[in-house]
Structure 1
Amino acid sequence: MILLGWRQMILLHGDAFKKQLKQKNQRISTLWRYIHQRTSGRLLDPEMRTFLEENTEIISSGNLTPEIKLRLLTPRCRFWYDRAALWPYREPYWAIYWPGGQGLARYLLDNPKVVRKKKVLDLGSGCGATAIAAVMSGAAEVVANDIDPVAGAAVMLNCELNNLSPFPVLTENLIGTETENWDLIVLGDMFYSEELADGLHQWLKKYAHNHGTRVLIGDPGRPHFVCHKIQRQLHKISEYPLTKSTEQENNGSTSTVVWHYQP
């Protein structure tokens, strides 16, 4: 029998897999609210730190940015093969270095002038690699955003791994809001449903028109991205071949592309 990791289960059976997560009991819901309160600030809760350190592995190879160390979920980690009902929190999207994020981080490291002295928002930050790359490349201000507060805790640990001071991590849903004037918005691997793609398109267009915000998108060619009308407003600025391990873990995608969104 072939054992599938949680990533493959989501890719193959996304709707059914997510339905399992909604069936968690009240105890988990209460714990979730507690974690949200304790990790949304700048101080990391000791219990959350212990959980992340015990259930992730420090990785600095097998991806496009060996300069950046990250705590990720790997086949050697406890929860890699567990079904969703056994997880203490939501599905750990933050614990995977997705190809779109890899491409964005690589691009910022190779082209520091894109972010130098700029105010940058990393939307759907996940493990925080793109935000970390922006800091390393000289951004004046970096804010990460991910609606999963556990991702915020992981980002803080990843900052420590790379000898960086933690930057703010916002855990509210920013799509549809207009919070600040960003010089640059970066987002990777966000187009995984038609509804989300539509919302992102309208929100990013508003920011670009109202504030002159530059938008960079990283994606390996997911269906909801390549088939969306946003394609008419995209200009390819870089493409990177994926490492063999990333290729195998993402249904055979061979490359990832960084796009400049120009509505």
Structure 2
Amino acid sequence: MSDRPPPGRTAPPDPVAAGTRTAAPPYVPEVRLRLADEVFGLWGRTGRLPYWAFAWAGGLALARHVLDHPGLVAGRRVLDLASGSGLVAIAAARAGAASVLAVDVDPLAGSAIAANAAANGVAVSVLVADLLDAPGRGPAGAEAAEVVLAGDVFYERPLARRMLGYLEHARRRGAGVVVGDPGRAYLPRDRFVRVAVHEVPGCGLLEAADTVPVTVWRLP
């Protein structure tokens, strides 16, 4: 069956391409992403907050950390959880990961990740799914990950609780777990070990300040 629209009709615009432009995000100039210039118009057109159309501070710091410390992922199977734009997944691929799986619940994020990976010339597998309620019962690619990365995932209490459960499961089965967090209220700091602090510039569109301190943490 053809995907072309019927005669006399035009195909609806691709929200990823139509609502964004290709640019290098701040702090990680090696990567190019489809990024939006504003939040609310794109939110209204897509019906949900377009996390995938912005480079969030937690992801920027985590991507920078991965690129600056490629030994964290080089030669390893990597899972980027709540991937959004795919920024961290792309950084892992560029840093020499053996394979990268980017997971997000939003189908538009899946499309954005695929487009961004192609624009950067790296191989990133995409999975649109919610893995958090079934740790240990996810697809083989996720369960085989040797490194789990997550940028800015502790901004809501219910999500933070589910996320911690999944990350602790990954750590128990032997995966390294590293997260980037810009001081969100629901990060359980007592469960993590501080690795580095990044002063991430250019965040004024999404955060209260133009420069945001972001901590990279690992789960011991």
TM-score relative to the length of structure 1 = 0.72
SS of 1:249's equivalent in the other structure is coil
Q: Is the 8 A contact 2:155 2:186 kept in 1?
A: yes
Match of 1:195 in 2: 158
Q: Note closer, same or farther for the CA distance 1:48–1:71 as it changes in structure 2 (3 Å cut).
A: farther
Counting only pairs closer than 5 Å after superposition, residues 21-32 of structure 1 correspond to structure 2 as none
Runs of 4+ in 1 over 3 A off after TM superposition: 47-51
Match of 1:161 in 2: 119
Which 5+ residue runs of structure 1 have no aligned equivalent?
A: 1-37, 39-46
Query: What is the aligned counterpart of 1:176 among 128, 133, 141?
Result: 133
Per-residue deviation at 1:261?
1.1
Greater helix percent: which structure?
1
TM-score relative to the length of structure 2 = 0.86
Counting only pairs closer than 5 Å after superposition, residues 118-129 of structure 1 correspond to structure 2 as 118-129=76-87
Q: Is the 8 A contact 2:191 2:219 kept in 1?
A: yes
The residue type paired with residue 41 of structure 2 is D
Q: Is the 8 A contact 2:57 2:212 kept in 1?
A: no
Q: Is the 8 A contact 1:49 1:153 kept in 2?
A: no
Query: What is the aligned counterpart of 1:110 among 38, 43, 68?
Result: 68
Query: What is the aligned counterpart of 1:93 among 51, 66, 86?
Result: 51
Greater strand percent: which structure?
2
> 1:76-131 deviations in whole A, cap 9, x for unaligned?
xxxx44385x4234221111100000011001100111101101100000000100
> 1:169-198 deviations in whole A, cap 9, x for unaligned?
111101132231321100011112111111
In structure 2, C-alpha distance between the alignment counterparts of 1:139 and 1:248, rounded to whole Å:
31
- Mapped pair 1:66 → 2:25: no
Match of 2:17 in 1: 53
Match of 1:237 in 2: 195
In structure 2, C-alpha distance between the alignment counterparts of 1:83 and 1:202, rounded to whole Å:
32
Match of 1:212 in 2: 174
Per-residue deviation at 1:161?
1.5
Q: Note closer, same or farther for the CA distance 1:48–1:102 as it changes in structure 2 (3 Å cut).
A: farther
Alpha-carbon RMSD? 2.0
> 1:139-194 deviations in whole A, cap 9, x for unaligned?
001100000011110111111221223x2211110113223132110001111211
Which 5+ residue runs of structure 2 have no aligned equivalent?
A: 4-10
